[in-house]
Amino acid sequence: MIARPAGGAARLIPAIDTGDLARAEALAAALAGRCGVLKVGLELFCAAGAPAVAAVTRHAPVFLDLKLHDIPNTVAGALRSLLPLRPAMVTLHAGGGPAMVAAARDAAERAGADRPLLLAVTVLTSMDAAALAATGVADSPAAQVLRLARMAVAAGADGLVCSPQEAALLRAELGPGPALVVPGVRPAGSAAGDQARTATPAEAVAAGADWIVVGRPITGAADPAAAAASIAATLPG
């Protein structure tokens, strides 16, 4: 399994969100020396599939973020199908429940010591309290994140995806064990876009994030490599 980053640029995971494989390869080449991991998400995977993962893996370990959410048997099968791509990290939705998380963990174990870090997504960083309430959850995002996080870790998740606003709570309640991967991160002055629960890169790390995920502030910059370097420079070494 991938080791936790010691600090600095190794904590940064740029999200290569594009449907264009050539652009993804160019971004991966430009960003590889300035981050620890590169994220392939739904947009790139739906456009270009396994070859996109192979292409990005040539530059850095890949966080394959497909947010699996289905019955346990189907999620386990999906995990088995993804293992040959050798992702360093994979995501599934904690909301699929403990049997789904446990089935994914069993499937991931087939890769032995080299298995991907299994990350459970809690409450999406794009959701505020009103959006959560619209799904039938009256609790605050923080309370729901903690509930899902406890369940997912008990069921076998190695780590959690949460917003920077819940990272300190999860560290305090769950200790140093679970890896925390934190999107919804915005350098000071950059547009939030559809992200609702945000903080700066340095704030996210101070709150307990092991890795931070940053997409548009890097990929939308005129010079993505320079944007990544300037974010990394704000992270504690």
Please enumerate, by residue number, every residue annotated as part of a binding site for substrate. 17, 39, 65-74, 125, 186, 195, 215-216
23 interacts with ligand OMP by CB under 6 A: no
Span near ligand OMP by CB under 6 A; candidates 18-26, 74-82, 94-102, 211-219: 211-219
Q: How many CA atoms lie within 13 A of 56 on its CB side?
A: 35
Query: For the window 143-182, what string marks contact with ligand OMP as x by the rule CB under 6 A?
Result: ------------------x---------------------
In the bound state with ligand OMP, the residue whose beta carbon lies nearer, of 102 and 182, is 182
Are 130 and 105 contacting, i.e. CB atoms less than 8 angstroms apart? Answer: no
Closest CA to 24 of 1, 55, 49: 55
Q: Catalytic: 67?
A: yes
Instruction: Tell me whether residue 4 is exposed, middle or buried, using C-beta atoms within 10 angstroms of its C-beta: 0 to 12, 13 to 18, 19 or more.
Output: middle
* Separation of alpha carbons 17 and 96, rounded Å: 24
57 interacts with ligand OMP by CB under 6 A: no
In the bound state with ligand OMP, the residue whose beta carbon lies nearer, of 95 and 113, is 95
Closest approach of ligand OMP to the CB of residue 161, in Å: 4
Instruction: Tell me whether residue 107 is exposed, middle or buried, using C-beta atoms within 10 angstroms of its C-beta: 0 to 12, 13 to 18, 19 or more.
Output: buried
By beta carbon distance, the residue nearest ligand OMP is 215
Which of 43, 54, 67, 143 is flagged as catalytic? 67
Q: Which of 41, 72, 96, 208 binds ligand OMP (CB under 6 A)?
A: 41
In the bound state with ligand OMP, the residue whose beta carbon lies nearer, of 172 and 191, is 191
Q: Which of 193, 223, 233, 237 binds ligand OMP (CB under 6 A)?
A: 193
15 interacts with ligand OMP by CB under 6 A: yes
Per the annotation, binding residues are 17, 39, 65-74, 125, 186, 195, 215-216
In order of 5, 13, 94, the CA distances from 212 in angstroms are 11, 6, 19
For the chain, what's the residue count?
237
Are 166 and 196 contacting, i.e. CB atoms less than 8 angstroms apart? Answer: no
Q: How many CA atoms lie within 13 A of 96 on its CB side?
A: 25
Residue whose tokens read 């949460």: 162
Plot region of 67 (φ>0 → left; ψ -120 to 50 → alpha; else → beta): left
85-144 positions binding ligand OMP, by CB under 6 A:
91, 121, 124-125
* Separation of alpha carbons 95 and 46, rounded Å: 22
In the bound state with ligand OMP, the residue whose beta carbon lies nearer, of 55 and 213, is 213
Active-site residue numbers?
67
Residues that bind ligand OMP (CB under 6 A): 15, 17, 41, 65, 67, 91, 121, 124-125, 161, 183-184, 193, 195, 213-216
